[in-house]
Amino acid sequence: MWKARRRFWIALIVSVVLHLIFVTGSFQVNIRGAHFQPIVNKRTFKIKTLQENLPAKSTAQQSPEEQKFKEPELTEPNLSFKNPNDTPAKKETLLKKDTRQVDKTVNAKERDLSELFRDLPQAKALKQKEVRQTRQDLVETTPTVERKMVTADELVKEKPVDEAFYEKMPGFTPSLVTDEDIEHQKDVELKHSFLPAVQRKQIYEDLEEYLVSELQTYTDPKDGQKYFKLVIKVGKATKELPALPKEILFLIDCSISIQKDRLEEFKSGIEYALRNLGENDTFNILAFRDEITRFKPNSVPPNQNNITQAVRFVEKLTAGAKTDTYNALNESIKTKIVQTPSYIILLSDGRSTEGVTDSTKIINEISTYNNGRRSIFAFSGGLRVNRYLLDFISYKNRGWTEYSYRTHLIDEHLTSMYEKIKDPIFLNLRYRSNGLNTEEMFPKILPDFFRNAEFTLYGIYDEQDQFVLQLLADFKGKTKEFIMQGKLQSAPQGGEDIAKNWAFNKIYYLISSLEHDKKNDAIIKQIRELSEKFNIDTPYSGDIADIDLH
């Protein structure tokens, strides 16, 4: 028993001694390829609680400054943030479209989302990011919206447009008259015949069989003011009249602000107009940015070869560079008139950025230079539009303006506008009257008379009853007349829209009278009083304010 215990202890002691020898010797062995780094003690920090229960905020919406700690003692003085716009140049190749251009359109498959952004009232302060290509093994990103600051001036001039102005100048832009409308006309309310009350220097050929008129009145229950509305449109017999051959100059804005989607819609509408020109018409196309590109030196007939070339010319147009609207209008007016009537159809957003940029100066100088030689019609679409320039360049040049509030409907609305003006039948309309206050009748200047459009006169009256109105028009070198007589007191009653449309028309007339760098206090006062009385919110308030400041 004792011997066994002795052997156990001897073995244990020998084992311990051998292990000590091996462990001590291992520190003297050098293993090649092995590197040992000293252990560095890591510093520890205590995080101070600044605020508790803060609402979560996406870092994508935080500026670099917002992402810093708010306590001064915790903000490192050398802390810097890289500008997110300072991306390496090689990454530019990932963009689907040229990044030198701004406000690009999104991919066609995301069109619905694009239209949604465009229709939001706050779209002026929102900008859609570019969609970038990614490798197939990466997740494709979707368009996001980032916050972008705008100036106070932009907010004033680009406020949401009142619904009444979405597609027209209310009370002024004529309605489309279809063949069905003509067939179902009501009996004429007014008697058309000669009365000696109208002072006539000579007797003209009568237009009674070609035109019809409708009269309505309205009395304001608040102040007792009386208003009238006189609509004049074609009768059934006008189907027998051939449309007058016309010249059309398509003046297309191809600047960068137009953007691809709006330009493509313009192209579709123009192609429809080109393919529906009359066989005796003539046409030309002028595309402009800061310079002008002409389809032909002068207008040409719409034969098959010219139309094919014109469509190709339009299809190749792209948006880019700045906008010199003044020069484009000036050069189009200078272009030789091949035949009368001659019309300019301006397709633009009205945002001039090159040359003369003051809208009032452009309107007044172009109108003076044109002097009625060519009627100017304007068309645009989308939200970012200079309504003041477009509305009054047409108003003062015997035309009118139409819009498509939604960009994807531009083609449809442009087609409708062309249908109104494609068949002119009477030119150079003017009127005079006995028994009516012509100083308060609007509009003062009338466009040509078209088979598919009606025009309306608005006015006020007090105790007047019987009146006579003479409308004069030119047809194939001869002057013709249309005389209306009626009794205001017995006319059918209309609604309060008659009073409001009269106010719209007077406001247009007053705004068109504003002069660049002149004192306009009295006119602006009248505009503001009418706007307040009739609760009218025009898209021109920012422009009027600028004129007032000058």
State the burial class of residue 189 (Cβ atoms within 10 Å of its Cβ: 0-12, 13-18, 19+): middle
pLDDT for res 128: 40
pLDDT for res 2: 61
pLDDT digit string, tens, across residues 12-61:
888 888 878 777 766 665 555 444 444 445 454 444 444 444 444 444 44
Q: β-strands 424-434, 401-404: how paired? A: unpaired
pLDDT for res 518: 77
User: Assign residue 295 a region: left if phi > 0, alpha if psi is -120 to 50, beta otherwise?
Assistant: alpha
Q: Which amino acid is at 220?
A: D
> How far apart are the C-alpha atoms of 299 and 285, rounded to whole Å?
8
pLDDT for res 544: 77
Q: Enumerate domains of the chain plus CATH numbers.
A: 93-150 (no CATH), 179-241+425-549 (2.60.40), 244-422 (3.40.50.410)
State the burial class of residue 478 (Cβ atoms within 10 Å of its Cβ: 0-12, 13-18, 19+): exposed
Q: Which residues of the chain have pLDDT under 50?
A: 33-40, 42, 44-158, 187-201
Q: What are phi and psi of 532, to 5 degrees?
A: -70, -45
Threshold 0.85, pTM exceeds: no
What is the token pair recorded at 457?
Answer: 């006169």
> How far apart are the C-alpha atoms of 400 and 402, rounded to whole Å?
7
Tell me the C-alpha to C-alpha distance, in Å, between residue 158 and each of 12, 162, 260, 334, 384.
96, 11, 21, 32, 7
